[in-house]
Amino acid sequence: MSLDTFRQETREWLAQNCPPGMRKPSRGEPDICWGGRNWKFESEDQKIWLERMAARGWTVPMWPKEYGGGGLSREEEKILREEMRAIGARSPLESFGIWMLGPALLQFGNEAQKKEHLPKIARGEIRWCQGYSEPGAGSDLASLQTKAEDKGDYFLVNGQKIWTSYADKADWIFCLVRTDPAAPKHSGISFVLFDMTTPGVSTKPILLISGKSPFCETFFDDVKVPKENLVGNLNEGWTIAKYLLTHERASIGAGGSLAGLRSLPAAAIKAVGRDQNGRLADAFIRNDVIRAEIDGYALLATVERYKAEAKAGQGVGSKSAILKYAGTELNKRRYETFMTIAGSDGLEWESERSEDGTLAREWLRTKANSIEGGTSEVMLGIVAKQILKLPGA
Amino acid sequence: MIALDEDRIMLRDSAREFLTDKSPVSELRRLRDTRDQDGFSRDLWRGMKDMGWTGILIDEANGGSDFGHVGMALVCEEMGRTLAASPFLSTAVMAATALRRSGSEEQKKKWLPAISEAKAIIALAVDEGRKHNPEATALKAEMSGNAFRLNGDKSFVVDGHVADQIIVAARTEGDPGKKEGISLFLIDSKSPGISIERVIGVDSRNNARIKFENVHAAGTDALGEVGKGYQLLENTLNAGRAGIAAEMLGVAGESFDRTVAYLKERKQFGKFIGEFQALQHRAAHIFGELELLRSLVLSACVALDKNPDTAGLSVSAAKFKAAEVVKLAVSEAVQMFGGMGMTDEIDIGLFMKRARATQEFLGDAGFHADRFALAQKF
């Protein structure tokens, strides 16, 4: 099928199938469909939208069809995104399964694991969380201590994770565990999957400065994990972890360039208006908005360029650290500007006017962007060492 | 967005090889120290012709190689890396763009092959004050019969001192500040009434201040439609702006590469200074900024290749970012080279001086920030 035909058909299908409620601007977090066993759809439209998109494999457009994906090429996927944006269609499903575990399983999982887990991710039936950080292993992730002992037909897992996003709402976890305590720290780690309802798993939400609790402490107390839930080879989990971190960094970074959620120029125009020449009436704010917009534009162009280069076989490698660093720092700057634009209105925390301080809470949330998934300093260190090859980095 | 294909990678590599060989930074020093009368080497310019660069934006029928703006940017970037002086931007980029787009058949037939053959240097005279502002064009072109009489002053006319022809932006009607009423003329630099003062810049490159006193221009000297030259001027300038942004990427990239090399060789406190995290993170930050700039330059050139009429936004984003990044890269370079960075012996200072001039040329960061915003209606 030619790309033009594909675009035409996609446009028609979306026009007929995207429910009106799913074409309203997303308010961000409260409007995201995460899926999972216990998911409560915010509306009938949200449910229908997920079902229709999942039936076409378009919740994960580029995954192979046999695993619940859409089997689209990169060009087709881009068209799908463009057509969705054109009618303001929301994403039907977001999840750590889509962003992270799926790509890892496609790369490192065995056939049985792919068949078992990927279609459920694509249909939004199982919600995953990620068990990486520990109280003593933050930036120095490879020093993690949660141990998994080989007990014959299962691993016995004991330890604690922290900053586990939505662990209290997740159905399954993909988790880094230490399987060889004697080996050098990067060489004794394995990557395992298990059900969060397994006896011995417990979670405790952490209250953040935003007043919300998207993260948990997660405890493992004699948790039995079947051997077949080991992904890749024993003690080679760090390879998968690194692969996933690269993915995570790219997606956290890209968040800074997403035009989707809030538009700075629109917020600024609404708040301060334009002068007779069409310029934003507040020169100081205008300056900040321009810088943020151009950097957002640059980031998007860089994401696209890296994709094109990767496709052309020109390695991108550690350069994704740049996207994570630049994208998160940009997002923090953008939200500082949103808050400046909003003035005292933006400080309201509990009013209906402010939808319970949505903006302020988002602003606070962005402060984690440059910490999670590898701090800005870790990213700069990666560039210094792996790209610039500076001594002792 | 695109990745460079094999042809373009070859173009870039051959440009790097040619310029490193024929026009290393020492060549700029020679031009400076001998007070060369042209400020560039005509041998080098002919060499650029042999490489196909003089006709890089000219169609093959007129002797060009027609590599497009992406190709142009690759060459400009390499020129930035060696600080190569030549009339490339004025003649092969801007004059070629103006003529190809709006020249009469006669103008095209006469000048496009001449540019391709490196037989003509054509400068663009736009600026009149200390800041680039095409809309503010005040130089007057009064119609008398079928002809025009030009009066006014131009400044920062790059290559104006060696130009055979000058494309001059003039006002045929309306007040300075208006887009309407601007016209372009292509006139002989030896025309009576033109006086040219060569200006040697901080970057050892040359431009000119040009006075027009009752200069005669025939009706056939008009480039494009009289009174409606603004869009043509914009397109011409945008090609130049993308080119200079690419050169800035090269200036920033080369001074950065030299800085990173220095961090690996200079020792203090018994360590390579590159071992200090304070410097590592600053270097890594600059690397990131260069990556972002590279994407903007490329996307501006892709936009120009696709449709020059709608590329203004991308071009301004690129030129804005280029100004910010080149300033960062050369300032940090001088700082990290320490006292050596302040000496004339080390090339870094030459990169900083060129960076300063490129920031001003064809609109500084503030100018392009404003245009970027206005294009998006804020």
- DSSP letters, B76-121, are HHHHHHHT---SIIIIIIIIHHHHHHH--HHHHHHHHHHHHTT---
The residues, ordered by sequence, that sit 6+ positions from A34 with a Cβ below 8 Å of its Cβ are A93, A94, A95, A124, A127, A166, A169
Chain A closest-CA separation from residue B41 CA (Å): 35
Query: Where a domain ends, among B74, B99, B120?
Result: B120
A positions 269-288 inside 8 Å of B (CB): 269, 274, 278-280, 286-287
Name the residue among A279, A379, A388 with its Cβ closest to that of B260.
A388
Q: What are phi and psi of A218, to 5 degrees?
A: -125, 130
**What's residue B220's pLDDT?**
96
Domain co-membership, B209 together with B149: yes
- Any idea what the CATH number is for the domain that residue B181 is in? 2.40.110.10
DSSP string of A73-114?
Answer: -HHHHHHHHHHHHHTTPPPS---HIIIIIHHHHHHH--HHHH
Please, are residues B329 and B256 in contact by the beta-carbon 8 Å criterion? yes
- Count structural domains, chain A: 3
- Domain shared by A162 and A270, yes or no: no
Identify whether A263 is part of a domain. Answer: yes
Domains identified in chain B, total number: 3
Considering the domain boundaries, does residue B198 fall inside one? yes
Co-location of A283 and A232 in the same domain: no
- A window 32-91, beta carbon within 8 A of B: none
Residue A294 resides in a domain: yes
Last residue of a domain, one of A94, A114, A142: A94
Q: Does B7 lie at the interface with A, CB-CB under 8 angstroms?
A: no
Chain A residues in contact with B275 by the CB 8 A cut-off are 390-393
**Residue A6: HSE in the Cβ half-sphere, 13 Å Cα cutoff:** 15
Please give the residue that has the higher pLDDT: either A32 or B165: B165
A134 in the same domain as A80? no
Give the whole-angstrom CA distance, residue A325 versus residue B288: 8
B376 CB within 8 Å of a chain A CB: yes
Pick from B268, B291, B313 the residue to mutate for testing the A interface (most A CBs within 10 Å).
B291
* Residues B195 and B206 grouped into a single domain: yes
Three-state SS at B24: coil
* B139 in the same domain as B110: no
Whether B296 and A299 lie within 8 Å, measured CB to CB = no
* Cβ pair A294:B320 closer than 8 A: yes
What is the residue type of B23? S
CB contact under 8 A, B372 and A319: no
- A261 and A335 inside one domain: yes
- Residue B233: pLDDT above 90? yes
Q: Determine, yes or no, domain membership for A19.
A: yes
What is d(CA A229, CA B168) in angstroms, rounded to the nearest whole number? 74
| Residue B238, in any domain of the structure | yes
Q: How many CA atoms lie within 13 A of B369 on its CB side?
A: 20
The domain boundary, picked from A204, A236, A268, lies at A236
Is residue A246 one of the residues assigned to a domain? no
Of B209, B228, B247, the one marking the end of a domain is B228
Claim to verify: residue B127 and residue B198 sit in the same structural domain: yes
Instruction: Inform me whether the C-beta atom of residue A309 falls under 8 Å from chain B C-beta atoms.
Output: yes
Note whether A231 and A329 are same-domain residues.
Answer: no
The one-digit pLDDT tens for each residue of chain A (393 residues) are: 799 999 999 999 999 999 999 998 777 777 899 999 999 999 999 999 999 999 999 999 999 999 999 999 988 999 999 999 999 999 999 999 998 999 999 999 999 999 999 999 999 999 999 999 999 999 899 999 999 999 999 999 999 999 999 999 999 999 999 999 999 999 999 999 999 999 999 999 999 998 888 899 999 999 999 999 999 999 999 999 988 887 777 666 665 444 446 889 999 999 999 999 999 999 999 999 999 999 999 999 999 999 899 888 887 788 889 999 999 999 999 999 999 999 999 999 999 999 889 999 999 999 999 998 889 999 999 999 999 999 986
- Tell me, yes or no, whether A227 and A269 share the same domain: no
Please indicate, yes or no, whether residues A271 and A383 belong to a single structural domain of this protein: yes
Instruction: Identify whether residues B148 and B106 lie together within a single domain.
Output: no
pLDDT at residue B349, as a whole number: 97
Residue A193 CA to residue A155 CA, distance in Å, equals: 11
Q: Specify whether B270 is located in the same domain as B284.
A: yes
A49, A68, A94 - which closes a domain: A94
Q: Are residues B246 and B353 in the same domain?
A: yes
B274–A contact, CB cutoff 8 A: yes
Query: A205-246 pLDDT, tens per residue?
Result: 999 998 888 899 999 999 999 999 999 999 999 999 988 887
- Any domain includes A250: no
Q: Which residues of A are catalytic?
A: 248
- Among residues A132, A152, A156, the alpha carbon closest in space to that of A142 is found at A132
- Tell if the CB–CB gap between A305 and B5 is shorter than 8 Å: no
Contact call for B373 and A280, based on CB within 8 A = yes
Which of A265, A325, A392 is facing B378, going by the closest CB pair? A265
Q: Are B50 and B112 members of one domain?
A: yes
At residue B225, the pLDDT reads 95
Regarding whether A299 and A265 lie in a shared domain, the answer is yes
Nearest chain B CA: its distance from A81 CA (Å): 15
Please give the Cα distance from B216 to A204 (Å, whole number).
84
Q: What is the CATH number of the domain that holds A187?
A: 2.40.110.10
Q: How far apart are CA B77 and CA A277, in angstroms?
A: 36
**Boundaries of domain holding A151:** 128-236
Q: Is residue A74 part of a domain?
A: yes
Are the beta carbons of A223 and A194 closer than 8 angstroms?
Answer: yes
CATH number (domain holding residue A59)? 1.10.540
What is the ipTM, given to two decimal places?
0.95
Residues A280 and A383 in one domain: yes
User: Quick one: A221 and A148 in the same domain?
Assistant: yes
Q: Are residues B249 and B370 in the same domain?
A: yes
Give the whole-angstrom CA distance, residue B321 versus residue B289. 9
CATH code of the domain in which A382 resides: 1.20.140.10
For residue A143, is it within any domain? yes
Q: Residue B88 and residue B250: Cα distance in Å, rounded? A: 15
Nearest CB to B369: which of A290, A380, A392?
Answer: A290
Check whether residue B110 and residue B187 sit in a common domain.
Answer: no
Q: Give dist(CA A188, CA B347) in Å, integer.
A: 49
How deeply is A129 buried, as exposed, middle or buried, from its count of CB atoms within 10 A (0-12, 13-18, 19+)? buried
* B257 close to A (CB below 8 A): no
Residues B183 and B245 in one domain: no
Record: contact B284-A383, CB cut-off 8 A: yes
Pair (B107, B192) in one structural domain: no
Query: How many angstroms separate the CA atoms of A347 and A324, rounded?
Result: 28
Summarised one tens digit per residue, pLDDT across range B283-308 is 999 999 999 999 999 999 999 999 99
Q: Which of B277, B287, B369 sits opposite A383 (nearest CB)?
A: B287
Task: Please report the pLDDT score of residue A314 as a whole number.
Answer: 86
Alpha-carbon span A79 to B102, nearest angstrom? 36
Task: Note whether A279 contacts B288, CB cutoff 8 Å.
Answer: no
Chain-chain contact of B264 with A390 (C-beta, under 8 angstroms) = yes
CATH number at residue B99: 1.10.540.10
Q: Is the dihedral of CA B305, B311, B317, B321 positive or negative?
A: positive
- A281, with CB counted inside 10 A (0-12, 13-18, 19+), is middle
Helix A320-342 vs helix A237-255: crossing angle, to nearest 10: 40
CB-CB contact of A63 with A93 (8 Å): no
Q: What percent of chain B has pLDDT over 90?
A: 99
Shared domain for A17 and A134, answered yes or no, is: no
- Please, which residues have CB within 8 angstroms of residue A97's CB and are 6 or more apart in sequence? A117, A120, A121, A126, A127, A128
pLDDT tens profile B307-351: 999 999 999 999 999 999 999 999 999 999 999 999 999 999 999
Cα–Cα distance list, A377 to A36, A91, A134, B333 (Å): 34, 32, 19, 21
In-domain check, residue B357: yes
- For chain B, percent of residues with pLDDT exceeding 70: 100
Residues of A in contact with B298 (CB under 8 A): 301, 305
Which of B94, B120, B146 is a domain's end point? B120
Domain that holds residue B214: 123-228
Q: Give me the pLDDT at residue A256, please.
A: 47
Angle formed at CA B376 by CA A362 and CA A20, multiple of 5 degrees: 60
Answer whether residue B254 is part of any domain: yes
Residues A269, A369, single domain; the answer is yes
Q: Which residues in chain A are closer than 8 Å to B3, comparing Cβ atoms? A: 305, 308-309, 311-312, 314
Residue A22 lies inside a defined structural domain of this protein: yes
Q: Does any domain span residue B1?
A: no
Lowest mean pLDDT among A241-255, B95-109, B126-140: A241-255
Domain with residue B286: its CATH number is 1.20.140.10
Give B153 to chain A, closest Cα distance, Å: 28
